[in-house]
Structure 1
Amino acid sequence: MAGPEDGHQQDESFLSIQVLLITASFFLPVALPSLLGWMNGLLAVPVFVLLVVSTNTNRAFRQIGRGLFLAIGGALLLNKVVLFAFGLTLLPLGYSLYKSVQQREDPAIAGGKGVIILGGIWFAFWMISGALTGVNPYSTLIASLDESFSRILEIYRNNSELPPDVLLGLEQIVGQIQKFIPKLMPGLLAGSVIITVWLNMVISNRLIPRLVQGKHAWTEYSRWQYPDKLVWLPIIAVILALAGRGQLQNAGYSLVVVSAIVYLFQGLAIFIHFLDKWNVPLLLRYLIYGIFAVQSYGILMLSVLGLADTWFDLRKLNQNEQINNS
């Protein structure tokens, strides 16, 4: 006797809208990498959103599988399987975020798990890629960046209009950058993982209530908050950077970069909280966001603001929680 699930399978179209969206999401970055390659970093969004908004999880998994089947067919035709394989590294992140929502974990826990999962998968992916090609991806990246800075410096050297003192100062700056890049690179790579997870979470959190009214992954972004114990990360980072020597000091530099990125996101949440509280017009908000994005000191201010919230509870979230629990 056929059960309800069998009926769903019979009525379900192979080329549903959901299947086509999954196919497009994973195939377009492969087909047009120069134009849509940035989508590779957001491929957890369609997987996560589909799993959350679907009324039938098994059907959602089938739709994802069919979409990926069609996408990999296109990747094979274009002979771009490696690029497609990199996009697949976001699948576990989407599933991890879905499980976190099912278990009602707060955004900090969900994001932390996502960073560990995505970081581990990317590390394994590039190690396997390096083993198959015989090229060390990390060393290649460092050498490529060093060569790029050398080319930029050579262009300025060939510019006869630059005064000698300006050229000398530029050479010193580029030399310092080339010296510090290897020390900061682990932190920058870890930061790229954190940024990727954060983007997928924030975008998904905005999409889900728009697709299904009353459905939410987490609370609004302006209320996201880290556990207080995380403050030990920047404390340890600064101690290692100032008092450490050799590899310990380099680890401190990388942890400082990671800490700045992590608390930047909490600072942004606080900033948005006050923009909401003061009813700042949308156009003015975008202007302020743009100013902060292009000014390095603005980003630093947000990181400091996020760190300060650990001690000062600027949004009074802890006070409100105590009132609700009393």
Structure 2
Amino acid sequence: MSRLGLFRSFALALASSLLLFLSGMALPLAGFLLIALAPQPILGFGIKNGKGRAMGLLALAVVLFMLFGGEELQWGYSLVALMVLLLFFSLGRGWPVEYVVATASGGMFVAVSGILLYSFGSLSSLWRDLDTMLRENIELSLKTYEKLGFSGEVTELLREQAPRITEMVVRIMPALLFAGFAIVTLLNLVMLYRRFPDQRSVIVSAGDLREWKAPEPLVWCFILSGLSLFLPAGWEAWKISALNLFLVSVVFYFFQGLAIVAYYFHHKNVPHFLRSLAYVLIFFEQVFTLFVVALGLFDLWGDFRRLKKKDLNPGGAS
């Protein structure tokens, strides 16, 4: 690539990443998706032009936010930069996709947890402030519902249940945080996988992401953590930890269920419109979400994609 072409790619990737992030911060609903895509231009630039040049691009983006952005923008984009660094560390090592996702998500989780603990001083202060913030947000949402004309009985019921809701959300916040990072990581990996088909072996060591399955030992984490939820009173700290481990294992079985769905969509040539509709239902309708989790879990025994038969007879695989 010529110097002019390299400069254009550099400038385009920089502008795209900054624009996605700033747009995501400005938009209340679609913002999360745009922020999740902010690492993509830099990752793509690194795949095409080398990690060293991508590190320079990333450093420039961080410096720009340090010079011209507020504290909120600086911290926010620092998390984007950290995800890019963790992914560049993981890519090209021949790791399976679950190792890449776990490394990036785990690194992000540790970093964010450390920053929050440092900022609040103690875990109890963090939980207390988080609980207060959630209660205030729920109250604001309920007032908005009342202004929109929602039934008074519904809003009053939600107000009565607010303490239980906030308590549960605070308990599972570690799992929610890890799951969010895992989804963002996987989204960026899938996009890289589709954008650079000739570089797939560099991205992850997987022949086809639609044939991915979770490591078999993970089922023991799922079973043992699930059984731990039935421990008697007095084991609250253990039960909270078990609940978060249980939910993290559920996330990976959800990914496996998605892979199964994508596998059959591909092999049955399902129209893209119907695929999009199905994915919307999976992500926003609880029944479909649970069905996909169950699909991923029971694939351990059902082998719904016949992958074990394909492994035994590789010559007959199509």
Aligned-partner SS, 1:120: helix
Q: Cα distance, 1:191 vs. partner? A: 1.7
Equivalent-residue separation in structure 2 for 1:40 and 1:260 (angstroms): 24
Instruction: Tell me if structure 2 keeps the 8 A contact 1:48–1:95.
Output: no
Q: How big is each residue's C-alpha offset from its partner over 1:86-143, in whole Å with a ceiling of 9 and x where there is no partner? A: 3233344434434544222211122222222222222234345556xxxx66543332
Instruction: Tell me if structure 2 keeps the 8 A contact 1:21–1:67.
Output: no
Equivalent-residue separation in structure 2 for 1:159 and 1:276 (angstroms): 42
Question: Given the alignment of the two structures, is residue 206 of structure 1 paired with residue 198 of structure 2, yes or no?
Answer: no
* 1:130-141 correspondence runs (5 A): 130=120, 139-141=128-130
1:181 aligned residue: 169
Question: Given the alignment of the two structures, is residue 34 of structure 1 paired with residue 29 of structure 2, yes or no?
Answer: no
Instruction: Tell me if structure 2 keeps the 8 A contact 1:93–1:118.
Output: yes
Equivalent-residue separation in structure 2 for 1:154 and 1:82 (angstroms): 27
Q: How big is each residue's C-alpha offset from its partner over 1:208-239, in whole Å with a ceiling of 9 and x where there is no partner? A: 22xxxx33234332112211011122112211
2:178 aligned residue: 190
1:115 aligned residue: 105
How many pairs were matched up? 304
Runs of at least 4 residues off by over 6 Å:
155-161
Aligned-partner SS, 1:243: coil
Which one-letter code corresponds to 2:42 in the other structure? V
Equivalent-residue separation in structure 1 for 2:175 and 2:209 (angstroms): 25
1:222 aligned residue: 210
Equivalent-residue separation in structure 1 for 2:193 and 2:282 (angstroms): 23
In the alignment, structure 2 segments of 5+ residues that lack a partner are none
Equivalent-residue separation in structure 1 for 2:148 and 2:10 (angstroms): 54
Question: Given the alignment of the two structures, is residue 23 of structure 1 paired with residue 23 of structure 2, yes or no?
Answer: no
Equivalent-residue separation in structure 2 for 1:155 and 1:96 (angstroms): 40
Aligned-partner SS, 1:215: helix
Overall identity of the aligned pairs, in %:
22
1:257 aligned residue: 247
Please point out which of 218, 227, 248 is paired with 2:238. Answer: 248
* 1:304-319 correspondence runs (5 A): 304-319=294-309
Which one-letter code corresponds to 1:140 in the other structure? D
Normalising by structure 1, what TM-score? 0.78
Relative to 1, partners in 2 of residues 1:14 and 1:273: Cα closer, same or farther, differing over 3 Å? closer
Equivalent-residue separation in structure 2 for 1:274 and 1:66 (angstroms): 39
Equivalent-residue separation in structure 1 for 2:89 and 2:3 (angstroms): 25
Please point out which of 62, 81, 87 is paired with 2:53. Answer: 62
Equivalent-residue separation in structure 2 for 1:302 and 1:150 (angstroms): 33
Instruction: Tell me if structure 2 keeps the 8 A contact 1:20–1:67.
Output: no
Instruction: Tell me if structure 2 keeps the 8 A contact 1:241–1:251.
Output: no
Relative to 1, partners in 2 of residues 1:77 and 1:115: Cα closer, same or farther, differing over 3 Å? closer
1:148 aligned residue: 137
Question: Given the alignment of the two structures, is residue 286 of structure 1 paired with residue 276 of structure 2, yes or no?
Answer: yes
Relative to 1, partners in 2 of residues 1:188 and 1:14: Cα closer, same or farther, differing over 3 Å? same
Q: Cα distance, 1:286 vs. partner? A: 1.7
Relative to 1, partners in 2 of residues 1:117 and 1:77: Cα closer, same or farther, differing over 3 Å? closer
In the alignment, structure 1 segments of 5+ residues that lack a partner are 1-7
Equivalent-residue separation in structure 2 for 1:128 and 1:21 (angstroms): 36
Normalising by structure 2, what TM-score? 0.80
Q: How big is each residue's C-alpha offset from its partner over 1:157-214, in whole Å with a ceiling of 9 and x where there is no partner? A: 89998476x56644443343133222222221222222222222222222222xxxx3
Larger Rg: 1
RMSD (CA atoms): 3.4
Q: How big is each residue's C-alpha offset from its partner over 1:70-98, in whole Å with a ceiling of 9 and x where there is no partner? A: x3454245332552343233344434434
Relative to 1, partners in 2 of residues 1:79 and 1:178: Cα closer, same or farther, differing over 3 Å? closer
Q: Cα distance, 1:307 vs. partner? A: 0.9
Instruction: Tell me if structure 2 keeps the 8 A contact 1:270–1:314.
Output: yes
Relative to 1, partners in 2 of residues 1:319 and 1:77: Cα closer, same or farther, differing over 3 Å? same
